[in-house]
Structure 1
Amino acid sequence: MDKNLKTKIKNIFLDLDGTTLTSNKEISQKTISILKKMQKEGKTVSIVTGRPVYFAKEEYYKLNCDFPIIGCNGALVYDFKNDKLVYKNPINKNISEQIFQLLVKNNITFLMYTTSEIYGYSRENYQADWFNWLKSSIEKREKQFQFNLTILNSKTKNDFDIKKFDIVKFLVIKSDSQEKDIENIKPELTKFQGVYIIQSQEKVIDIMPEGSSKGYALEVLSKTNNFNLEETLVFGDEQNDVSMFEVAKYSVAMGQSKDVIKEKATFITDSNNDEGIFNFINKYLK
């Protein structure tokens, strides 16, 4: 462990789900307190998440972030303080339409993230647990942190014109789809030009536009906001965090991460449910 870590690190970037958030989707008070202490000492803090930026706005303000937020695995960068879209990289509209038709045809439960709201699809007469959780999460948020969620089904899907929207990510919900249907679409998804597949959580599959990653967006942000990646520390837990492990000088994998993720990180801390962020910062940066 570098004894001078405290003075070398100027910027801290945090993944949300599985990292900053506990399994109950909360940020512990210890984490909030120690990050605010870091800010008082001159370090900057912000978020790099697979979520769309509007689904992390509350967490952004809870942490009083210093830089714009990176969302949708790097396909969106938004400056909440100036209410300004810094960067977007949507999926080609023709490809989006083809992916939509493939997922619907195979009865897949999935979400589509646009630059301002979420659309979802679920097969007829099925209550998706993920959608129920998402609706509940939105309703629990203060009004200024809420956003629109529209769920389509076999009867309403034809009224949805996907080409009217910039789709920055499809999220396939494996846990609310049948395994045989998931297996059917996997080879088909690899045939689409301009997108790639990555995993941000165990129960989902992310379909992303090529050219977007957390790492690339972090590089973009370092230029627009003039900070040095050699002085940057990132925390993450999943496959979609590896790209930012590769561009930041220092990286920390959460304790519950798979070994393949831990191998890519500079350091390993405790799990997201065991104060992993707090424990690392308290031990090495305080």
Structure 2
Amino acid sequence: MIKAIFFDVDGTLLSRNGRVSKSTKKAIASAQKNGVLCGVSTGRGPRSLRRIIKDLNLDMFVTYNGQLVYDDHQVIYSHPFEEAVIDEIVNYANNNSRQLLLGSAKQVEGSLTMRIGESSFVRRVIRFVPKKFPIRTVKLGLQKFSPNRRKERYSKLAILNEPIYQCMMFGAEYENEKLKKALPNCDFQRSNPYTVDLVPKGGSKVQGIKQFLAYKGMAFEEAMAFGDHLNDIEMLKVVGIGVAMGNAQEGTKESADFVTDSHQHQGIEKALRHFKVID
């Protein structure tokens, strides 16, 4: 029996217009009425989420790719970076003129370019960027001509006095191995081809979900998850029922127990009805 459902946000819970559809809102409310806990499992942080899902009465929040988990009452799991690892990341960004964002429980600070990129509008648009987009050229251009380019740019940010749960860096998929060698104390998660989320070693959405389920005395088999991107694969594999959206990447679909319709066509509602979570 399914007791908890975790939804990815971008490309899953949100439609292309950056909003939760009426169909999805109704389906989630129906599941909750049936006693099922519903929440998110996302790479986004708390500040970003508040703007997006303010009209959903969710039960739990697995944020920053599993590094910060909470409900309306308390923090359930907190896994920030060690200070030495943050120093490594900041030094790498400074020395290589990298665009960088740092996320705490209350705020996000860093690159203005990336803060703009984190907006709901840009996140919607980026899904339509062609695969042949010259990401390498754009990255080099930002490194060379950024108006905020200066030595030790990120070293004096006020946010460094707070626990940091996730860093977001501008970097294309072809740089994966390079980044792993440069930052061996991090794990890397991607929700798009152009930026990468850095989390503490061993951190993942699965770890966050595991902590929440343990807190509630539930097993993975009693959980259901929805996702669309590669950073959702592990989550879809480990829960009792993993559902890929119809708009999901092929690798994500192959890893799921069930492929539903897209986020544009009542995919969440249809899957919940298929598995009789709602009537």
Short-chain TM bin: 0.7 to 0.9
Once residues 184 and 246 of structure 1 are traced to their aligned partners in structure 2, the CA distance between those partners, rounded to angstroms, is 26
Q: Which residue in the other structure is 1:9 paired with? A: 2
Q: Structure 2: which amino acid aligns with 1:111?
A: L
1:9-64 Cα distance to aligned partner (Å, 9 max, x none): 23221111111011221100110011111211222211111101232135555221
1:78 aligns with 2:73: no
Task: Note if contact 1:113-1:119 (Cα within 8 Å) is conserved in structure 2.
Answer: yes
Which shows bigger deviation, 153-162 or 40-49? 153-162
1:278 aligns with 2:275: no
Number of residue pairs matched by the alignment: 250
SS in 1 for 2:70: strand
1:95 aligns with 2:85: yes
1:50 aligns with 2:47: no
Q: Which residue in the other structure is 1:149 paired with? A: none
SS in 2 for 1:234: strand
Once residues 98 and 278 of structure 1 are traced to their aligned partners in structure 2, the CA distance between those partners, rounded to angstroms, is 44
1:49-100 Cα distance to aligned partner (Å, 9 max, x none): 110123213555522112x311000000122x22x22211112212212212
1:20 aligns with 2:13: yes
Task: Note if contact 1:254-1:270 (Cα within 8 Å) is conserved in structure 2.
Answer: yes
Q: Which residue in the other structure is 1:114 paired with? A: 104
Residue 282 of structure 1: how far off its partner (Å): 3.4
Once residues 41 and 158 of structure 1 are traced to their aligned partners in structure 2, the CA distance between those partners, rounded to angstroms, is 49
1:186-244 Cα distance to aligned partner (Å, 9 max, x none): 51443423211121233321111112111111111111122332221110111221222
Residue 252 of structure 1: how far off its partner (Å): 0.3
Q: Which residue in the other structure is 2:200 paired with? A: 209
Once residues 278 and 259 of structure 1 are traced to their aligned partners in structure 2, the CA distance between those partners, rounded to angstroms, is 21
Which shows bigger deviation, 16-25 or 155-164? 155-164
**Normalized against structure 1, the TM-score is what?**
0.78
1:164 aligns with 2:161: yes
Alignment of 1:148-159 (within 5 A): 153-154=148-149, 157-159=154-156
SS in 2 for 1:272: coil
CA distance 1:57–1:211, shift in 2 (3 Å):
same
Q: Which residue in the other structure is 1:142 paired with? A: none
Once residues 7 and 275 of structure 2 are traced to their aligned partners in structure 1, the CA distance between those partners, rounded to angstroms, is 17
Residue 183 of structure 1: how far off its partner (Å): 5.9
CA distance 1:120–1:103, shift in 2 (3 Å):
same
Alignment of 1:27-66 (within 5 A): 27-66=20-59
- Structure 2 gap segments, 5+ residues each: 122-146
**Normalized against structure 2, the TM-score is what?**
0.79
CA distance 1:188–1:36, shift in 2 (3 Å):
closer
Q: Structure 2: which amino acid aligns with 1:64?
A: N
CA distance 1:207–1:218, shift in 2 (3 Å):
same
Task: Note if contact 1:216-1:244 (Cα within 8 Å) is conserved in structure 2.
Answer: no
Task: Note if contact 1:112-1:120 (Cα within 8 Å) is conserved in structure 2.
Answer: yes
SS in 2 for 1:274: coil
Residue 173 of structure 1: how far off its partner (Å): 3.2
SS in 2 for 1:279: helix
Residue 168 of structure 1: how far off its partner (Å): 1.1
User: Between the two proteins, what is the percent identity of the paired residues?
Assistant: 26
Once residues 175 and 249 of structure 2 are traced to their aligned partners in structure 1, the CA distance between those partners, rounded to angstroms, is 26
